[in-house]
Homo-oligomer: A and B are copies of this chain.
Amino acid sequence: MLYTKSAEYAIQAMIYLAEKNTDDPTMVSEIAEAYEIPRQFLAKIAQTLVKHHLLNAIRGRNGGVKLAKPAKEIYIHQIVYAIDGAPLEHEQCVIGINECSDVAPCPFHHKWKVIREDIREMLMSENLHVLAKRVIEKRNEMSKAMAN
């Protein structure tokens, strides 16, 4: 919808690592199992993330991957960019009209522009640290609710 399945897997994997919050490497197979992502496929995605300096990889026994920088400094749009590539700069009109712009907008233009900026804002403003914290909070709430 907003990004490919591959980018979704990448975000999941990175949140997993941010949650663990350790300096030790984590095996790709562990992450794959946790999120039920095909192992080999996630390995490819991890390779790409390493190339884009979002992950560091340690090869060999006891190896694995870890965040290449603090979770606070990794934003979702960076992950999406790394996997799906740069967003189109001549922002694509929703109904594909060539001359669509603010001056000569397509009939959807203004509504769509607002939505697009909301999405952009969402991807640009959220970092892994915040997301991981929220996931952990939710887990705790869940287990509390279960206990009752």
A130–B107 touching, CB < 8 Å: yes
Q: Which residues of B contact A54 (CB under 8 A)?
A: none
Contact digits for A1-26, partner B, Cβ 8 Å, 1 yes 0 no: 11000001101100100000000000
Out of B12, B15, B92, B107, name the residue touching A135 (CB < 8 Å).
B107
A104–B2 touching, CB < 8 Å: no
Q: Determine the main DSSP class of A at the interface with B.
A: helix
Residue of B nearest to A7 (CB): B95
Binds B, one of A38-46, A59-67, A109-117: A109-117
Q: How many residues of chain A get a CB closer than 8 Å to chain B's CBs? A: 35
Residue of B nearest to A100 (CB): B138
A108–B122 touching, CB < 8 Å: yes
| Given pairs A1-B2, A108-B122, A115-B119, 5 additional interface contacts (CB within 8 A) | A1-B1, A107-B132, A108-B131, A111-B118, A115-B118
The residues of A with any CB-CB pair to B shorter than 8 Å are 1-2, 8-9, 11-12, 15, 35, 92, 94-97, 99, 104-108, 111-112, 114-115, 118-119, 122, 126, 130-132, 134-135, 138, 141-142
